[in-house]
Amino acid sequence: MSDGSMTIDAAIVPAAAARRPLPAHGSRRAYAAYALVTPAAALMLVMLLGPLAGVIALSFTDYQLGAPHFSWIGLANYQDLFADKVFWTALRNTLTYVVVVVPGAVIAGLAIALLIQSGTSLRSLYRTIYFLPVMATLIAMAVVWEFMLHPQFGLVNGLLRGAGLPAFAWLQDRNTALYALCAIGIWQAVGFNMVLFLAGLVSIPKQLYEAAEIDGASSGWARFRLVTWPMLGPVTTFVVVISGIRSFQVFDTVHVLTKGGPSKSTEVLIHTMYTEGFEFFRSGYAAAITVVFLVFVLALTLIKSRLADRGVHYT
């Protein structure tokens, strides 16, 4: 009996000894994993998370650019912000801009992609033409638009006069200035969306269209409803979110063409942030605006990832 237990003990010892190196091995692997993650984590910390935390912290201070010291003022910046009529105007204008530009740029991008895809020749030429606004510097293009929309000798009013219609001061009228900027925004975003949609269209298996045809979907609209639109689901989600985020960021055209005027009718969030931060040097206040802006962008991103989880992707 005791002999038996001896053998069992003897058998256990080497087993325990064999087990001991395992955790050491495991932690060595964990070290290796951390070591491998470190460069990326450090970069993210320095480039993304650090500045973000800095901006959030700054929004609770009364720091002014170049000031030797600053003090903690809690939520005072936010109180000011929410009491400021300009902020609410800017927010409303930004949302209007997003609501007009996103559907416009997505639908136009899809329509152009479908036209190019169904065309037989000159595909790459059209692709290049529509992609030009994306590649061009928006500031320079904004200047071109300024000439085109000029009340006296602009191309747009020239065409209107030619058609017997009255000319219009597009960027100088507070009722039309924001929509003129929306039109420029759509023009600028269409090319990018078109390229994404084209890539999505190419990846739809041809056999699905053939199956649809055999199943009786004889009209182009029926095939679009049955195959194209659902199969473009993932691309469409992506395009909508990207267009949304980019529209929220609208700044260059506003800054070059209207500076937020006339009478704040084109004031948008980022422009307010720029004015407060870099013209009035109220960095803490500008940081608070940035935080509000980030909340909207974050919300859009969350919606996208939620949609992506909800089976817009099929496999």
Residues in contact with another protein by the rule CB under 8 A: 205, 207-208, 210-219, 221-222, 225-227, 230-231, 233, 311, 314-315
Q: Which is nearer to another protein, 187 or 224 (CB)?
A: 224
Q: Are 116 and 123 in contact (CB under 8 A)?
A: yes
Nearer to another protein, 26 or 103 (CB): 103
- DSSP per-residue letters across 161-210: HHTTPPP--TTTSTTTHHHHHHHHHHHHHHHHHHHHHHHHHHTS-HHHHH
For 130-153, letters b (16+ CB in 10 Å) and e give bbebeeeebeebbeebbebbbeee
Pull the structure tokens for residue 170: 């597009």
Q: Write down the least CB distance from residue 226 to another protein, Å.
A: 7
For the CB of residue 34, give the shortest distance to another protein in the complex, in Å. 36
Nearer to another protein, 135 or 214 (CB): 214
Shortest gap between Cβ of 224 and another protein (angstroms)? 12
Euclidean distance between CA atoms 136 and 270, whole angstroms = 21
Q: How far is 155 from 160, CA to CA, in rounded Å?
A: 9
**Looking at beta carbons only, is 166 or 311 nearer to another protein?**
311
CA nearest 246: which of 296, 313, 195, 176? 296
Q: How far is the CB of 118 from another protein (least distance, A)?
A: 17
Q: Smallest distance, Å, CB 207 to another protein?
A: 4
- Judged by beta carbon, residue 2 or residue 315, the one nearer another protein is 315
